[in-house]
Amino acid sequence: MRHIAIIGSGPAGYYTAEACGKTFGADVRVDIVDKLPVPFGLIRTGVAPDHQSIKAVSKRYETVALTDEVRFVGNVAVGRDVSIAELLELYDAVVLATGAPSDRPLGIPGDDLPGVIGSAAFVGWYNGHPDFATLAPPLDGDHAVVVGNGNVALDVARILSKTEAEFGASDITAHALQALRGSHIRTVTILGRRGPHQIAMTPKELGELAHLERAAPFVDPAHLPPEADDAALEPGVRKSVAHLRSFAVAAARKDVAIRFAFFTMPVAIEGEGKAERMVIEHTRLDDSGRAVPTGERETIDASLIVSCIGYRTPHIEGVPYDEALGRFANEEGRIDEGLYCVGWARRGPTGTIGTNRPDGYLIAERLAQEIPADSGKAGRAGLDALMDERGVRIVTFRDWQRIEAAEVDRARAGSPREKFVTVEEMIGTLDAG
Ligand code: NAP
């Protein structure tokens, strides 16, 4: 019997568990350990609440979770309740699938002012991550700046622009919905330090902006390269750029404007005790396609600034880390003897949810070659004994299903669930019977 611990129950964790099941059959026991009492990581707390079709992939993970070989071990935090060294004593392999849930700082003066929020925090707030339940972003100004030209920037701009009715079939948290109801934001500026040809936004997500009830997207035609240059683009980017071109054609104004400001980088954030203004500088592309400042600056009002410029994997004590890349130092997923990583913790925060599937299968293949078939390690029985000794309450997948049933029960009309947003509420549901 092989004993494997996977740390993190997001897509990378579940695809790895699925791959281990396929690779080892009944000859494996996989524990998926998560610090939250609820599974699915980014699917629950990262994917936008109005993108329910993407979230549906968790049904596939549920099939994996309910096999005899795999179990969910929720409410157990590595570093707080158990160390990596202890897990390596108990399991033949420990696979870190911890994702990249920390914001990369903007790194400009004023980026620590209240009102400047990283996308992990902002997305976690509207999506029910317990770490951000009390964030309360300022929505009393009329101009929000979203920094970055990736899909997360689009998610944030869209959430700030939708009407309450448009959240009808979503599982946005009640606290976010209530705050957005009173929002005064009328312009959302999406700041890109490079141009339309360099965006990291995908066509389907960009296209959604054209169909919002009370918001309309605008692109300054002067920022668009000659149309003939689009031919050289990769097909996906070409489609995205076609959307941007359509946003540059004069459209009917709506209550909220989503403005793309290309060739613009943030330089500083100013304000008395909170963000009030942003100093921006215009850029041009150098020969290698990098954004270089032109020296032409201006100051714009902004009381909410959400930086969507990518993520980092948090450190875990004793695990080698690549500071430049913001993830664990690894060679094709191997960190050290018995210690591996997958998904964003291995390769950084890029790609879609499905990109994690081959990652999981790659690691399962490595494990088949590198870990012993019958080391006699204690595995899950050993973890249970240790958690019992430390008074840590393990939340099982069956427990999660009870939490989920309670979330479904209290959902508002049309919404799939009303999420609990604190660990106490989640565990409290189990104690309530
Ligand atoms: P991303 O796709 O890597 O985009 C990050 C953006 O931030 C880039 O436009 C980058 O510009 C910009 N940036 C980085 N540092 C900056 C700085 N210091 N100042 C100004 N701009 C800066 O990251 P993401 O949007 O966080 O998305 C992460 C991954 O999740 C991506 O693979 C994304 O496709 C995926 N995702 C998918 C969906 C979906 O499919 N619906 C939704 C959300 C996220 P440069 O290009 O100039 O570096």
User: Per-residue pLDDT tens for 341-390?
Assistant: 999 999 999 989 999 999 999 999 999 999 999 999 999 999 999 999 99
**pLDDT at 238 exceeding the cut of 70:** yes
3-state secondary structure 144-186: EEEECCEHHHHHHHHHHHCCCHHHCCCCCCHHHHHHHHCCCCC
Atom of ligand 1 nearest to the CA of 290: 47
For ligand 1, whether the C-beta of 309 sits within 6 Å is yes
For ligand 1, whether the C-beta of 280 sits within 6 Å is no
Report, as an integer, the average pLDDT of 47-64: 93
Q: What integer best gives the mean pLDDT of the chain?
A: 96
CA distances from 73 to 35, 109, 375 (A): 9, 42, 22
**pLDDT at 76 exceeding the cut of 70:** yes
Report strand pairing: 70-74 vs 264-270: unpaired
For ligand 1, whether the C-beta of 82 sits within 6 Å is no
Q: For residue 272, count CB atoms less than 10 angstroms from its CB and return exposed for 0-12, middle for 13-18, buried for 19 or more.
A: exposed
Closest CA to 396 of 21, 51, 132, 76: 76
Report, as an integer, the average pLDDT of 116-140: 98
> Mutate which of 309, 313, 356 to test ligand 1's pocket (most atoms within 8 Å of Cβ)?
309
> Mutate which of 122, 152, 283 to test ligand 1's pocket (most atoms within 8 Å of Cβ)?
152
For ligand 1, whether the C-beta of 352 sits within 6 Å is yes
> Mutate which of 119, 146, 151, 199 to test ligand 1's pocket (most atoms within 8 Å of Cβ)?
151
Distance of CA 154 from the midpoint of ligand 1 (Å): 10
The DSSP bridge partners found for residue 71 are 31
For ligand 1, whether the C-beta of 123 sits within 6 Å is no
Distance of CA 106 from the midpoint of ligand 1 (Å): 13
Q: Which two tokens stand for residue 289?
A: 């396609």
Distance of CA 242 from the midpoint of ligand 1 (Å): 19
Per-residue pLDDT at 433: 65
Per-residue pLDDT at 163: 97
CA torsion through residues 384, 90, 3, 426, sign: positive
**Strand, helix or coil for residue 404:** helix
**pLDDT band at residue 309 under the 50/70/90 scheme:** very high
Per-residue pLDDT at 251: 76
Per-residue pLDDT at 252: 81
For ligand 1, whether the C-beta of 198 sits within 6 Å is yes
Alpha-carbon distance 358 to 12, whole Å?
9
Neighbours of 1 (CB within 10 A): 14
**Is the separation of the CB atoms in 56 and 29 below 8 Å?**
no
Distance of CA 269 from the midpoint of ligand 1 (Å): 21
Alpha-carbon distance 39 to 156, whole Å?
23
**pLDDT at 202 exceeding the cut of 80:** yes
For ligand 1, whether the C-beta of 294 sits within 6 Å is no
For ligand 1, whether the C-beta of 193 sits within 6 Å is yes
For ligand 1, whether the C-beta of 289 sits within 6 Å is no
Atom of ligand 1 nearest to the CA of 148: 7
Q: Whose CA is nearest to atom 42 of ligand 1?
A: 151
Read off the pTM: 0.96
Residues of the chain above pLDDT 90, percent: 96
CA angle 201, 204, 210 (to 5 degrees): 95
Distance of CA 148 from the midpoint of ligand 1 (Å): 6
Report, as an integer, the average pLDDT of 279-283: 98
Q: For residue 254, count CB atoms less than 10 angstroms from its CB and return exposed for 0-12, middle for 13-18, buried for 19 or more.
A: middle
**Is the separation of the CB atoms in 186 and 77 below 8 Å?**
no
For ligand 1, whether the C-beta of 34 sits within 6 Å is no
**Is the separation of the CB atoms in 37 and 393 below 8 Å?**
no
Distance of CA 307 from the midpoint of ligand 1 (Å): 10
For ligand 1, whether the C-beta of 179 sits within 6 Å is no
**pLDDT at 250 exceeding the cut of 90:** no
Distance of CA 197 from the midpoint of ligand 1 (Å): 14
